[in-house]
Structure 1
């Protein structure tokens, strides 16, 4: 069953077509990857799904419901969260506080006065803190929970960025190059976390990444963009044999190794 359906999606910036009638679907519970050269339209696609950009035409359905026209926070409440390629954290705040701040989007009851929660919000805050602690444990960040994010190495900051998206308990998580700038050990850890959120927590993962080894190892299905157009869609094996994808992106060596 498709959790995300993108149909004939187009996005224009003046006379430039960032996306040109792109269609694909993402199955519930899978790891889906979107790949392509720099400038192919990958991040623009995530911006359309998360509500930061308004497409020129087309349709995006999440669990069968049209989400175009919805505000980003309404899409979050439906079960979509996102980790950004360029880290968007509060550097002076701790890991714990960054995750809690993202989680507070889900606060629904009571009110906050004079530094204290009143009414139903107090119990809700305890519940949200429990969820945040589960994310900290899942991403193995127990030792840095009180550390200001700005003092952490880049790889750990990327992990906190992913953690903030996970703290929203999404059904679909959008990961925009979560391994960019990481060393080999950090990439291995992130790949393991992605597999675990997929296999253990049942989260559908939408991944953008330039490391083709990671993409081919993790993905169930892959869509390929080039100059805003979809030039390939299928399993990793099918993508590796797609002549148009080879010419535009993978190259002969990627297929023969």
Structure 2
């Protein structure tokens, strides 16, 4: 079943086209990777899906509901969560406090009880904390540092905490913007394992922007390739690796051997 559908989406900043007639669908419970050279429009695509930008043309459907002009907070409440290319955590707050912030879209406490923090507000916050400690912190193996300030932790753990904050929203669609950028091989393998476990445990539909082609080709069900804002290929990892347009985008020419092309993309 299709959960997310992008149809002829275009986004321009002045005379620069960040996206130009991009169309694809993301199937429920599958991992769709968005790849392409720097400046291809990958993060711009995430921005129109999550509501930071509104495309000048095209439609975005979530569960067959048109969300093209919907505010970002409304999309989050529907179940669209994301992480960011650059870490966007509150460095002076603890791991638990940062992750709990992701659950705010699921709180129903009224203004007054939340402001004075009594009654339903206390009970709802306690339930949220217990749920996050059980389903997110334990799952991501962060229990030993849950009270530590985020700013004192290494980069790899901070990326994992940002993933935890997105998971606290209980998303149906999870957008991961370069989740392993800057990580070493061991950290990359750990993150890939967590992503696959999220897919298996909760059936979450995942969209992944990543430059680590080995990881992309190993864990993705579908790959969408962008170049200068245009979609040049979509298909399985095997189909994309053999696509001449993809090879040319990554190598600058299609006149390369299949082995060289495979190594460059994979």
TM superposition score normalised by structure 2 = 0.93
Report what 1:14 is aligned to: 14
2:232 equivalent to 1:225: no
Q: Greater shift after overlay, 246-255 or 85-94?
A: 246-255
Could you list the per-position Cα deviations for residues 128-185 of structure 1 after superposition, in whole angstroms to 9, with x for gaps in the alignment? 1122112001110011101110110001111111110011000100000000010111
- Structure 1 stretches of 4+ moved >6 Å: none
CA distance in 1, matches of 2:181, 2:46: 16
CA distance in 2, matches of 1:131, 1:31: 25
Report what 2:144 is aligned to: 143
Q: Is the 8 A contact 1:84 1:175 kept in 2?
A: yes
Aligned residue runs from structure 1 range 65-214, under 5 A: 65-110=65-110, 111-114=113-116, 117-133=117-133, 134-214=135-215
SS of aligned partner of 1:217: helix
How much does 1:254 deviate? 4.1
TM superposition score normalised by structure 1 = 0.96
Q: Greater shift after overlay, 123-132 or 204-213?
A: 123-132
CA distance in 2, matches of 1:123, 1:226: 50
Q: Is the 8 A contact 2:102 2:167 kept in 1?
A: no
Q: Is the 8 A contact 1:31 1:219 kept in 2?
A: yes
What is the aligned length? Answer: 255
CA distance in 1, matches of 2:245, 2:101: 44
2:262 equivalent to 1:255: yes
How much does 1:124 deviate? 1.5
How much does 1:18 deviate? 0.4
Q: Is the 8 A contact 2:84 2:177 kept in 1?
A: yes
1:79 and 1:91, CA in 2 relative to 1: closer, same or farther beyond 3 A? same
Query: Over aligned residues, Cα RMSD in angstroms?
Result: 1.3
Q: Is the 8 A contact 1:109 1:119 kept in 2?
A: no
Q: Is the 8 A contact 2:233 2:240 kept in 1?
A: yes
CA distance in 1, matches of 2:115, 2:43: 39
Q: Is the 8 A contact 2:82 2:166 kept in 1?
A: yes
CA distance in 2, matches of 1:14, 1:194: 36
Structure 2 residues without counterparts, runs of 5 or longer: none
How much does 1:121 deviate? 2.3
Structure 1 residues without counterparts, runs of 5 or longer: none
How much does 1:69 deviate? 1.2
